[in-house]
Structures are given as C-alpha cells and as structure tokens.
Amino acid sequence: MTSPAVWSDAWTRATAAAKADGTLVLDPSGDAASVPPGPYWVMETDTGLSDRMGAGEPVNAETGTIWLHLMVAKGTGTPAALASRIGMSNAFRTNAPSSGLSYFEQHFDPPSLSADGTRYRFSLGIAYEFQNLPDQIGGK
C-alpha cells in the first residue's frame, strides 16, 4: 500500500508541474469533477513492496511506481503531449524533501493508436523507494 507521505509528495510535485503547463491533475478517487476539455493528468500508484526492513526492525521499506497519465484529445498532435510529459518527468528528478523518499528510474508508456474513445494516454511511471518509521507513515 502506498504511504500517505509518498502520495502527498508526488501529488504536490505533479500538481505544480501541471499548473506550470496549464493542465490539471485529477485524483481518480477524489471529488467527482468534470473532465477538462483540454489535456489533463490522472495520478495513481502501484506499490511493489511494503514490509519491514528485517525481523524486528522498526523501519518500513516500500517500493513502487507513481503513474501519471496524460490524457490528450485525438487530433491534437504528439509534440505538445511529449513536451508536457517531459515537464512532468523533470518534476520528479529533484531530491525529495521527505526523509527516506527517493525517486529513480522513469518509464514512458506510448499511447495505443488503436485505443477506442476520443483521447490518447501518454503515461509516465516514476519508480520510488521509501523507508521510514511506522508511526511516520501511518502504520503501527
């Protein structure tokens, strides 16, 4: 499960990068907001590991991926979407202010040209590691 500290840091970075680009980030489980007519981002997480560092250790270790999906209308062109995705990528290439959180390799998932609907999805996956004491990440 993704720790609240990881989600909060990623959300802050993503919304700042989106705002600078003139787009929004939507939380898939947040308030039901209307979908913007222009490009927008959707953020979700995928946790690969969440466990104690070792037997009796008070430190939790977590690894996973922050997924940001840029949704663009078909017919608007790829270059602007790629530039937006690079801007979002750069937001995660700086040190995390939260002790124990680090971002490393990134994955770029191309859109499927056979996708149904009116939008293409340009995805960016940012791998992370997080280590912290249980009371600092919501666990006991």
- State how far the Cα of 117 lies from the Cα of 120, in Å rounded to an integer: 8
Residue ranges of domains in the chain: 4-136
* Residue 134: CA count within 13 A, CB half-sphere: 8
> To 10 degrees, what angle do helices 4-21 and 78-91 make?
140
- pLDDT category at 36 given cuts 50, 70, 90 is confident
Q: The domain 4-136 is classified under which CATH number: 3.40.190.10, 3.90.470.10, 3.30.2000.10, 3.40.50.150?
A: 3.30.2000.10
At residue 134, the pLDDT reads 55
**pLDDT value for 47:** 72
Of 5-14, 40-49, 56-65, the one with minimum mean pLDDT is 56-65
**pTM, full prediction:** 0.83
Flag whether pLDDT at 137 surpasses 50. no
Determine the pLDDT at residue 30. 76
From the CB of residue 88, how many other CB atoms can be counted at a distance below 10 Å?
26
